[in-house]
Amino acid sequence: MKLAGKVAIVTGGGTGIGRGISHSLAEAGARVVIAQRRVEIARAMAEALRSEGFEALALGVDISRRSQARELVARTLEQWGRLDILVNNAAITGLPAIAPFLQCSDEQLDQIVEVNLKGTFICSQEAARVMVSQGGGSIIHISSVAAFAAQEGASVYCATKAGLIALTRAMALELAPYGIRVNCLAPGDILIETNEALLEEMKERGISGQYVRRIPLGRRGKPQDIGPAVVFLASEDAAYITGATLVIDGGFLVY
């Protein structure tokens, strides 16, 4: 198995895309820490993995709080003695991230930036400091095609996801001397439990819906489409890849 003996943290690893990532990492041999704001969701995912014979730990974490991010890393080290992989997947997305530009409140602006950008930065710092002492590691940010193609009613979300791509490059540059690779994934339209009827719900909030692209491959993506790419970037198969962003979108951005 590609990741046998490795220890991975997946923020937001108990829902949506995070579930697919957590499962793929476990299948590849990694011991997985599921970090979720609602600990009951993390526990359910960890139990599901353990029922398949995998090793998993559930922790309740607000990634935008430095003390909690630090505790996340400390608990991981206490449990398994090392940290090899961090997947920054947790984000404010879907309807909570939707607001017309002229109507977006300071509260919503702060919440999206705090989690999507600041939380990723904080978790990366805390994990990287451990990886430096270990002599290497892999950090993977989950961005979005929204970093490249504007989405109506999602100006703050788009800005934070674009910020993750710039952060990927800057981190890759500074952390390369320590053997830490930093890469990014930009998923397209991935069908998860919270966005099945997203377009209709957005229209109810005043979003026109006229700026919607077709997907050339003819289907919405699944969480299982993202997990294997995370495994690849975390493994030695990607040993010479850092600072890169891999788009996984069924062709959404090709036209």
Quick one: tokens of 203?
A: 């229209």
* Chain position carrying tokens 């540059």: 173
Distance CA 45, CA 19 (A): 7
List, in sequence order, every residue forming a beta bridge with 182; answer none if it has no partner: 139
Distance CA 243, CA 169 (A): 5
| Residue 226 DSSP symbol | T
> 140: closest CA among 231, 38, 30?
231
Angle of helix 120-134 versus helix 155-175 axis, rounded to 10: 20
> 77: closest CA among 160, 3, 9, 149?
9
Annotated active-site residue in 157, 178, 240, 255: 157
Whether 26 and 32 have beta carbons less than 8 Å apart is answered as yes
Is 157 among the residues known to form the active site? yes
Distance of CA 151 to the CA centre of its chain: 19
Distance CA 210, CA 5 (A): 48
| Residue 190 DSSP symbol | B
> 9: closest CA among 65, 67, 112, 82?
82
Residues with catalytic function: 157
